[in-house]
Structure 1
Amino acid sequence: MSLGARARCAGTQAVKESTLHPPYIAVSTWWMIAAIVTALFLVVCVPLMPSRKYKVRIACAPLLGLVFLAVAGAVRDHETQKLLSTYCTVMFAIPLGIVGRGKELKEAAEEAEKAIGGQVAPAPFKLTMQLSAALVGACMLWVWLNWG
């Protein structure tokens, strides 16, 4: 390998070393992030629900998520930091995935409420794609934060 090629490789390695590592986030900071993300989730998601029944269900989601992760963490002996990062990325992805799609979300929920025991049409394509992209992006963020 020539001297110039070695210098380019060393320069590239230095850039990779300084830019690709995730920041260290303390557990206390994760708790603050979790509180903010939970508030964001409730502010965005609850008003989009068409009925009181759905509003109550979506308002219980953060609590159920924390309970599920606490039990899973105790059973599998995961660190609190990883559990909170999981909670935060999921709770951030859902509002991000439905923001701006309130009309479609309300229509889909109302249709599902009317079709008890019957066939329900699939959710609107744009809503599905936005929610899917947000969840994939959140998963990628979580992987980067936890495994860098």
Structure 2
Amino acid sequence: MGLPFISLNFWWGASVTVTAIFLAFFIPLMPNKQYRIRMLLAPVLGIAFCVIAAMAKGLGAGEVLPMYSFAILAFPAGFIGHRREFRKRLLDRVANGESPANGLSMLMQLQLVLVIAVAASIGALFSMSAP
């Protein structure tokens, strides 16, 4: 049993939607302009990576957009339940410099890695099912 066909129009819409979700999730958490600019650039770098990978491997949009969509969505999903703690650690990092005390907690790291692994797997499945 294969995955159902999902149109390219859907994947374009999904890509725009998850980019908006990513920005809406992370921008308000950022403690200053420098961090907000970094977050604004993250989807741009993701898109650039996808375009370069697609050109290098001869992939079409139907193969690249599912991977982009799930990859970008994985990051906000990886921090669900940790927004306050993440914001607090970012504020501490800005005030006191980077240290192990204001890095990601073990639980945040574990959740983020697991969510990214699952999202990458699902994105790869949909990417492979593209016509």
TM-score range, shorter chain: 0.7 to 0.9
Counterpart residue identity of residue 64, structure 1: L
Shift, 1:87, TM fit: 0.7
Shift, 1:81, TM fit: 1.1
Q: Do the aligned partners of 1:93 and 1:135 also contact (CA within 8 Å) in 2? A: yes
Q: Do the aligned partners of 1:104 and 1:127 also contact (CA within 8 Å) in 2? A: no
Which residue number in structure 2 is paired with residue 53 of structure 1?
34
Counterpart residue identity of residue 88, structure 2: E
CA deviation digits over 1:54-96, x for unaligned, max 9?
Answer: 1111022112211221122112211211111111011110010
User: How many residues end up aligned between the 2 structures?
Assistant: 126
| 2:97 corresponds to 1:115 | yes
Q: Which has the higher contact order (CA 8 A, sep 6+)?
A: 2
Q: Distance in 2 between matches of 1:131 and 1:73?
A: 26
* TM-score under structure 1 length normalisation: 0.76
Q: Distance in 2 between matches of 1:25 and 1:96?
A: 22
Supply the RMSD in Å over aligned alpha carbons: 1.8
* CA pair 71-146 structure 1, distance change in 2 beyond 3 A: closer
List, as ranges, runs of 4+ consecutive aligned residues in structure 1 with deviation greater than 4 Å: none
Shift, 1:124, TM fit: 0.8
Gaps of 5+ in 2: none
| 2:16 corresponds to 1:39 | no
Q: Distance in 1 between matches of 2:72 and 2:3?
A: 20
Which residue number in structure 2 is paired with residue 138 of structure 1?
119
Gaps of 5+ in 1: 1-16
Larger radius of gyration: 1
Map 1:1-148 → 2, pairs under 5 A: 17=1, 21-113=2-94, 114-115=96-97, 120-121=99-100, 122-147=103-128
Report percent identity of matched pairs: 25
* CA pair 48-99 structure 1, distance change in 2 beyond 3 A: farther
Secondary structure of 2:6's partner? coil
Q: Do the aligned partners of 2:62 and 2:127 also contact (CA within 8 Å) in 1? A: no
Shift, 1:111, TM fit: 4.1
Q: Do the aligned partners of 1:48 and 1:102 also contact (CA within 8 Å) in 2? A: yes
